Amino acid sequence: MNRPFIAGILAGSLPRLRDPLNPEAAISRRQSRLRGDHIVDSNVRIPAELRDAAVLVPLIDHPGGMGILLTQRTAGLPRHAGQVAFPGGRLDATDRDPVHTALRETEEEIGLPPGNVAVAGRLDDYITGTGYVVAPIVGFVEPGQDYVPQPSEVEDVFEVPLSFFMDPANHKRETKRWNGIDRTFYAMHWNGRYIWGATAAMLVNLYEVLTHKAAA
């Protein structure tokens, strides 16, 4: 898959890129999107109060094929410690829209300037069991960037070939027992990296969008 092909598919999501982050827009997104931990696993209960967040799904535009940039979170964090994630976070009061949130958080976490990201579109919003409505913003990044991880948040920055996520054989569903309840989630294993939960589910969404497949 090359950049023009991916950009053409994502072009249909461009009108939603500048959705304002406000209560009315948030309610609309929650009602219209069916992505979330509660869809993957019916045992998950979504909190009544949801907060807006956004992440960047960075596609690294190598001449020989696309890669996807991911981060390994710092082990000492109070939440999601050590997990693989996209750069991003919750909105600030000064953020204009999900694009602003995703690019601002990405620069804070890994030192990638917003001007070095060519935003192409967005995936479906994803509701997490921890109470966030996450807007995944897809953008192209040229290879050879100098990433500077914020050590209090990011332990490592690494890249995975897009082709790995385009193989549905790598989209596993795993079940583990937490607090006496069996929880099911998407999981992907790549070169010793364990990509699971909301991040893995968003990658499944990317696969479905790029292959024109509807969500299960």
Answer whether residue 167 shows pLDDT above 60: yes
What SS3 state is found at 168? helix
pLDDT at position 216 is 41
Answer whether residue 214 shows pLDDT above 60: no
Over range 69-80, report the average pLDDT.
75
The number of beta carbons lying within 10 Å of the beta carbon of residue 30 is 16
Residue among 152, 166, 2, 183 at smallest CA distance from 71:
152
Phi, psi of 56 (to 5 degrees): -100, 130
Count of alpha carbons within 13 angstroms of residue 64, beta-carbon side: 1
Question: Is the distance from CB of 210 to CB of 6 less than 8 angstroms?
Answer: yes
Q: Which domains does the chain have, with CATH numbers?
A: 3-210 (3.90.79.10)
Phi, psi of 132 (to 5 degrees): -120, 145
Place of tokens 């990433």: 147
Beta pairing partners, 193 = 190
Q: Tell me the two tokens of residue 70.
A: 């991911």
More confident residue, 50 or 29: 50
How far, in Å, are 160, 192, 210, 214 from residue 188 at the CA level? 11, 10, 18, 20
Over range 72-79, report the average pLDDT.
69
What SS3 state is found at 48? coil
pLDDT at position 198 is 94
Q: Tell me the two tokens of residue 210.
A: 């790029």
Question: Is the distance from CB of 117 to CB of 106 less than 8 angstroms?
Answer: yes
- Range with lowest mean pLDDT among 79-83, 88-92, 94-98, 171-175: 79-83
Answer whether residue 29 shows pLDDT above 60: no
Place of tokens 């589910």: 201
Distance CA 138, CA 51 (A): 20
Over range 29-56, report the average pLDDT.
79
